[in-house]
Amino acid sequence: MDPRPIGVFDSGLGGLTALRELRRLMPEEKFVYFGDTGRLPYGEKTLAELRVMAVQNLRLMEQQGVKAILVACGTLSSNTPEILDGFPIPSFGVLRPSVRAMAEAPGDGALGILATAATIRSGAFERALRLACPGREIIPVPCPDLVPLIESGHCSPSDPLLRAAAERYTAALQGASAVLLGCTHYGIVEEALRCFLPAETLLVSAAACGAEAVREFLEAQGLRGAGRGEERYLVSGDPAAFEASASLLLGRSIAGHVRPVPVMRIVL
Ligand code: DGL
């Protein structure tokens, strides 16, 4: 038994899709969520910037006294795996569990990857999928417009701008057996993406895969908590805007649980 909280972070709202899943799997745990909205989108950052940000965010979580960290961000998971692996507190990204889930997906059609520009540029998901599924066609699709659309409130499946982007990004994936939502933000607009894919295409959520990996780890190590479940939120951008969007997304008010933190400077 370990009463310490679990740390979860992302550039903004996306990681809440992982937090939602973590809460469903482990309602008795405490969570500290960091939304780095003062520095999003991560998908447009350079590798050097992402390395600095990964270390800063992990340290911020460490200061919160967490027992494990879910880096609920495909961009950092794919660009900085060595930083996550080397951190003294057990830190999990979404890359490995997502690749495992994609490899286990039924069918032998292509495997699609929808992710941020920086994630696709890293090639990490593609390389890992090629290793796990030799001979399979892998189709990586960078989706630079999705995170800015989602963070500015274009989340409804009937939103014309979102629908146009969803149609464009799924065009190459019509024959895919499975498509990875390789950015945690994309779970928020899953319905819109689903509209433009064949019904039989399996959508794999990187956020849910990451959450399950953390649960497995805590279970195996005997580190599960046994409290009533609590959440705290740290936000580097506008806390009121985050509170409103997050409450909507989670389906309950998080008012009173959000604390602003300064935007951390990136010195290269
Ligand atoms: N949600 C993150 C990811 O999974 C970051 C997206 C962004 O800020 O560009 O990649």
Which three-class secondary structure string do you get for the chain?
A: CCCCCEEEEECCCCCHHHHHHHHHHCCCCEEEEEECHHHCCHHHCCHHHHHHHHHHHHHHHHHCCCCEEEECCHHHHHHCHHHHHHCCCCEECCHHHHHHHHHHCCCCCEEEEEECHHHHHHCHHHHHHHHHCCCCCEEEEECCCHHHHHHCCCCCCCCHHHHHHHHHHHHHHCCEEEEEECCHHHHHHHHHHHCCCCCCCEEEEHHHHHHHHHHHHHHHHCCCCCCCCEEEEEECCCHHHHHHHHHHHHCCCCCCCEEECCCCCCCC
Looking at residue 235, its pLDDT comes to 98
Mean pLDDT for the stretch of residues 215-236: 96
Q: Is the CB of 80 under 6 A from ligand 1?
A: no
Q: How far is CA 70 from CA 76, 148, 157, 202, 206, in A?
A: 11, 23, 28, 24, 12
Ligand 1 centroid–CA 187 distance in Å is: 11
Annotated catalytic residues are 73, 183
Looking at residue 157, its pLDDT comes to 97
Mean pLDDT for the stretch of residues 102-106: 97
Q: Is the CB of 73 under 6 A from ligand 1?
A: yes
Q: Is the CB of 40 under 6 A from ligand 1?
A: yes
Looking at residue 83, its pLDDT comes to 98
pLDDT per residue over 21-51, tens digit each? 999 999 999 999 999 999 999 999 999 999 9
Helix axes 124-132, 95-104, angle to 10 degrees: 40
Model pTM score: 0.98
Residue with tokens 């649980």: 257
